[in-house]
Chains A and B, each alone.
Chain A
C-alpha cells in the first residue's frame, strides 16, 4: 500500500546478475572501480551492467573518456570465461563509436583481441570477430590490421570456424583485402575462398566473393584467380539468388578479365550470356559490374563480334538516372564498337 513516506530500504534490486547502477554521472566511474575488484563475482556483475549502459551514446563517451579501455584491455586476459565474453561484448559496442575506435588503435587493443581468436568459448570468439569486423570496416582500422599481420591468421581460421563466425571473418578479410591484398595473397587465401564459394549460406558466399573482388585487384591476384580455375565457379555464381553474391561474382570476373589470360578463360567459361542478362538488373552494383565486365571482355575481338548484336540493349541502359550506370554503358558501347 502506498504510503507518503519513502521507504528506508534501498530500492529493490531487480536483476541480481547486474551490479546496481549508481545514479547520474557516478554510474560509470563506480562501475569502473568495481571492474578492478579482486572478487570475480563483482567483476562479472559490473561488466554486465556496463554492457547494458554502454548502448547509450552519452554513457559510452563517458566511459571511453574516463579510461575504461585500459581496464577492458587488462580484463581481456582474465581467466574467467564470462568476464572475457562480456568484455569483448562491451568492446564490440564501443567500437561503433569513432572515439572508441581511436582508443582501440591508440591503446593497441587489437593485439590482445587477436590473441583471443583461439579462445575456447564460442561466444567470446564471436564477439571478438564482431569487434574486429567493426574495426575493419573503417579505413584506418583496416590499414592497422593489415600492418599488424592479422590477415594470415584470419585466413587460417576461415575453414575452422562455424558458420556465423565464418561470415564475420570473411567480411573482415574482405575489408582488409580492399586496403592491401598482398598479405592475403601470400597466405594462400584464394584456395580457401574458393572452398567457401560453394557454401550453402548466402552470407558466407557474399563475404567470400567480396574478398575475392579485393584480391583480384593486384596483378598477382588476377594470375592466382586464373590459376585456381575460379572463373567457371564465378560464372556459375552469376546465377545465384543473392544479389550481393551476383554483384561480387561479376566484380571478380571484371577484375580478372583485365589480363589477357583472364579474358580468354572467362570467354571459355561462357561469361557473356549471364552478364548480358544481368545488365538489365535493378540492383546498381550488379548492373554496373556486369557492364564493366562486358567492357573488359569486349577488348577481345571475338567477344566484340558477339556483343555487337546486343548494343541496343546497352543503349537502353544509357538512359538510366544513375550516373555510374550511364558512364559504364557508354564506355561499353564505345569499346564494343571500336575498330582498329
Chain B
C-alpha cells in the first residue's frame, strides 16, 4: 500500500510509475475487524520496529537483492566459484571423513539399533488422523485483561477515616472566605452608614449652633429694629411737637405784625378810593352822566339842524345864483 516517493530513474515514456504521499505503515491485524474500516487513515499503526516486513539487523553487510532480475555477470561468476568451492570442500570431507567399512561378501550392512530400548523403525508412520477445522472466521475475542506477572513485594496500606480529608481543617479556608466576604460586605455597608451617621451628627451639631446663633442674631436684629423704630417714632414726635410750637409762634408773630400793618390800611384805602372817585354823590353823578350828555346831545342836534338849514339855504342860494348866472349867460 505504501510506496516511497522515488520514481524509477530510467523513466522511459510509457513506463508505469506510481507515487503517493508517504503514509504510515498500518499494522496488519491478526484477526479480522468486526466492521470494515472506512477510513484507511484510522487503521491501527503498528510499531514499525515490530513489523515483520522491516529489515532487521545491519544493513551494510546483507546480501542485497539486485534491483534488476538479471544477474550481474560478475556476481554470477562469483557465485559459480563459490559453488565450485563448496563442492570441492564437500568432496574433500567425503574423502577424508570416517566412513563405514565395506561389508564382507554375502553380507549386507544393515542398520541396527543399539540403544537400550528398541524402536520399531518403519516407514509407516503411525498417524492418527485428527481432523481439525477452524471455525468460520471468528470475531476477535476480547483481549484478556493484561495482568502482568506479579513481581516485588506485597505491601498493604489502609487509609483510615479522616486521614486524607479532614473536613474540619479543609472547611476552614472555605468558610473563612464565605464568612469573610459576607462580613466584609456587611462591614462596608455598616461603615458607609456610620460615616454618614457621623457626618449627619456633625451637621446636626453645626445646625444647632447655627440655629441658635441665627435666632440670636434675629432677635438682636429685631430688638434693634424695634428700638430704632421706637426711637425714630419718639424723635419724630418730638420734632412734630417742636414744629408745631414753632408754627404757632410764627403765626402769632405774623398775626401781630399783620394787625399792626393793616391798622392804617383802612383809612388809606378809603382815601385812595375816594381819590379815585369811587365814592361819588349819586345825584351829581347822575346829572353828570345822564343829564348833561343829553343836554349836549340836544344842543348838538339843534346846532346841526341849524347847520343843515344853513347848508340847505346856501345850496338854495347857490342854485339860484347858478341859474341866474346861466340865465344871464344865456341871455348874452
Contacts and interface: CB of A to CB of B under 8 A. Distances in A.
Pairing of A with B? yes
Contact of B216 (A260, A284, A299, A331): A331
A211 to B, nearest CB: 13
Nearest to B222: A258
Given A55-B192, A292-B212, A2 B170 contact: yes
Interface centre among B185, B200, B212 (most CB of A within 10 A): B212
A213 B211 contact: yes
B81 interface: no
A288 B214 contact: no
A52 B185 CA distance: 8
Interface stretch (B65-73, B201-209, B282-290): B201-209
A242 B205 CA distance: 17
Main secondary structure of the interface of B (DSSP, over half): helix
B185 A296 contact: no
A289 B212 contact: yes
A296 B188 contact: no
Contacts of B212: 288-289, 292, 324, 328
Contacts of A296: 215, 219
B196 interface: yes
A88 interface: no
Q: What is the size category of the interface that chain B forms with chain A?
A: 20 to 34
A1 B185 contact: no
A222 to B, nearest CB: 9
Interface residues of A, number: 32
Contacts of B207: 178
Contacts of B216: 292, 295, 328, 331
B72 to A, nearest CB: 65
A281 B189 CA distance: 34
Interface string A234-272: 000000000000010001001100111000000000000
A255 B215 contact: yes
A1 to B, nearest CB: 7
Interface centre among B195, B211, B221, B226 (most CB of A within 10 A): B211
Nearest to B188: A55
B188 A258 contact: no
A324 B185 CA distance: 40
A96 B218 CA distance: 34
B183 to A, nearest CB: 13
Contacts of B223: 299
Contacts of B211: 213, 251, 255, 289
A137 B197 CA distance: 12
A103 interface: no
Nearest to A338: B223
Contacts of A293: 215
Contacts of A137: 199-200, 203
A324 B209 contact: yes
B215 A299 contact: no
A285 interface: yes
A331 B196 CA distance: 34
B165 interface: yes
B192 to A, nearest CB: 6
B178 to A, nearest CB: 10
B186 to A, nearest CB: 9
Contact of B215 (A52, A178, A247, A292): A292
A39 interface: no
A324 B209 CA distance: 7
A160 interface: no
A251 B207 CA distance: 11
A331 B218 CA distance: 14
A284 B206 CA distance: 12
A57 B188 contact: yes
A295 B212 CA distance: 11
A217 interface: yes
The 4 A-B pairs with the shortest beta carbon distances in the complex, nearest first, are A258-B222, A55-B188, A285-B208, A258-B218
Given A292-B216, A324-B212, 10 more contacts: A137-B199, A137-B200, A217-B214, A247-B208, A254-B215, A258-B215, A258-B222, A260-B226, A284-B205, A331-B216
Interface of A: 1-2, 52, 55-57, 93, 96, 134, 137, 178, 213, 217, 247, 251, 254-255, 258-260, 284-285, 288-289, 292-293, 295-296, 299, 324, 328, 331
25 contacts: A1-B165, A55-B192, A56-B185, A56-B188, A57-B188, A96-B196, A137-B203, A217-B214, A247-B208, A251-B211, A258-B215, A258-B221, A259-B222, A260-B226, A284-B205, A285-B204, A292-B215, A292-B216, A292-B219, A296-B215, A296-B219, A299-B222, A324-B209, A324-B212, A328-B212
